Structure 1
């Protein structure tokens, strides 16, 4: 078991030293230094979280809320730094998803692929 944990620690360090993570960290720092960008992103994420919580509670999102979220998304996408941050987040999320898929392959051999 300790070998698995050691490999996970190595993977953590590899991720932390990756170009993708460095880009994300840099963009995050730039946004935190830009008061307007930070406020825009914080407001968007707050709205996003509120809507997710409603969905998890089984509450139907209104058309107005959906439109408001879409407008906020379009607004933040127009901000160059925020757009780059979201792209960097997506890139890193894809990498983590790929890693997860790779490390769970042995379990799929036993239990099958739940996506099928």
Structure 2
């Protein structure tokens, strides 16, 4: 029997060598090394997580919370370093989506014709 985890670990190593991963890594470092950008991003992320927790708990998200989240998102997007980091993350997400599509393809073919 094949040990899929060996293959996945090898894929992780390859993943870390992609230009998309390297671009994100560099963008993250730029944000980390800029105190203002780091604080703006931390605040934005904190708000995102709080809203996600409320949503998962089935709690209502209040209008003022949404407005505050939108303002935090706008502030983050206005910061060039954060914006570049988020763009790099989106590029990397596309690679992940493609890998996922390839991984689930065998499952999809099993169900073809049903």
Residue in 2 that maps onto 1:79: 79
Residue in 2 that maps onto 1:58: 58
Matches within 5 A, 1:26-45: 26-45=26-45
Q: TM-score, normalised by structure 1?
A: 0.89
Residue in 2 that maps onto 1:48: 48
1:61-87 deviation line (CA, Å, top 9, x unaligned): 111111111111111100000000001
What is the aligned residue count?
111
Counterparts of 1:55 and 1:10 in 2: how far apart (Å)?
36
1:35-68 deviation line (CA, Å, top 9, x unaligned): 1100000000000000000000000111111111
Which range moved further: 5-14 or 40-49? 5-14
Secondary structure of 1:104's counterpart equals: helix
Q: Which runs of 5+ in 2 are unaligned?
A: none
Residue in 2 that maps onto 1:24: 24
Residue in 2 that maps onto 1:103: 103
Residue in 1 that maps onto 2:14: 14
Secondary structure of 1:59's counterpart equals: coil
Please, what is the CA RMSD of the aligned residues? 1.3
The ranges of structure 1 where at least 4 consecutive aligned residues each deviate by more than 4 angstroms after the TM superposition are none
